[in-house]
Structure 1
Amino acid sequence: MSTMITIEVAFALPKKQTIIEVAVAENTTVQEAIESSGILAEYPEIDIKKNKAGIWGRVVKMRDTLRDGDRIEIYRPLIADPKEIRKRRAEKAKEEGRADKVTGGRPNPLKAENKE
């Protein structure tokens, strides 16, 4: 008989979060733990072939094995690329005249016009 360990499987939507505690065998993989947790029945939108997973915020492979106390986090795909959003925000600030290469649009305390 193999040793059992306790892990958690977590998934979150903007308005609903779930953490399921599961007892699994010592050499269980991330994928096996997700499947045995029952979280896939609760959230049918999870596709473990597409969604990435992590343990305590570090991305792992589905075939990685677990240790006692691990928390598997199932990540949702990003809606928008953060780099692209920052780029668009910077372009808009330039168009509006708010962009400043040194201060990023904030008032420069060294400029005479900002001093009282």
Structure 2
Amino acid sequence: MAEPQVEIEIVWPRPEGPRSWRLRLPAGSTAADALATVVLAEGWSQDPFEGSPLGVFSRRIEPAYVLQGGDRLEIYRSLQVDPKDARRRRASRSR
């Protein structure tokens, strides 16, 4: 009998354009398992996702989160500028 599987999508916004992958993984796989699968499939020597915040449908999750069929695993980028600092700069320029 075949092992139960889940189908998920991974999305990764990048400055040069978004990347996405569709995966079929064994049921019970975690977000960390999914990312490791992508790193292996892409042949990357380093994990570019390490330490990146993760989410499923805009809800923050931990790497140990067990994925469900149809989940969209999102890899978030770090903020380039603190939003409060950006507002202060804009306010000081408009004065």
1:74–1:40 distance in 2 versus 1, CA, 3 Å = farther
Task: Calculate the TM-score normalised by the size of structure 1.
Answer: 0.69
For 2:56 and 2:70, the matched residues in 1 are separated by 10
Match of 2:94 in 1: 93
Where structure 1 has 5 or more consecutive residues not aligned to the other structure, the ranges are 95-116
- Aligned pair in 2 of structure 1 residues 63, 45: CA closer, same or farther (>3 Å)? closer
Letter in structure 2 aligned against 1:84: D
Q: Which runs of 5+ in 2 are unaligned?
A: none
Deviation of 1:92 (Å): 2.3
Q: What do the CA deviations read for 1:49-73 (whole angstroms, capped 9, x no partner)?
A: x211111111110011110000111
Distance, in Å, in 2 between the alignment partners of 1:40 and 1:80 is 30
Q: Which is higher, the Rg of structure 1 or of structure 2?
A: 1
Q: Please, what TM-score do these two structures have when normalized by structure 2?
A: 0.83
Aligned to 2:62: 61
Relative to structure 1, the CA distance from residue 5 to residue 76 in structure 2 (aligned partners, 3 Å threshold; closer, same or farther) is: same
Question: Which 4+ residue blocks in structure 1 deviate beyond 6 angstroms?
Answer: none
Q: Is the 8 Å Cα contact of residues 30 and 67 (structure 2) preserved in structure 1?
A: yes
What is the Cα-based RMSD across aligned positions, in Å? 2.2
Comparing both chains, which one has the higher relative contact order based on Cα–Cα distances under 8 Å and sequence gaps of 6 or more?
Answer: 2
Identity %: 25
Contact 1:29 1:66 (C-alpha < 8 Å) held by counterparts:
yes
Deviation at residue 18 of structure 1 after TM alignment: 1.2
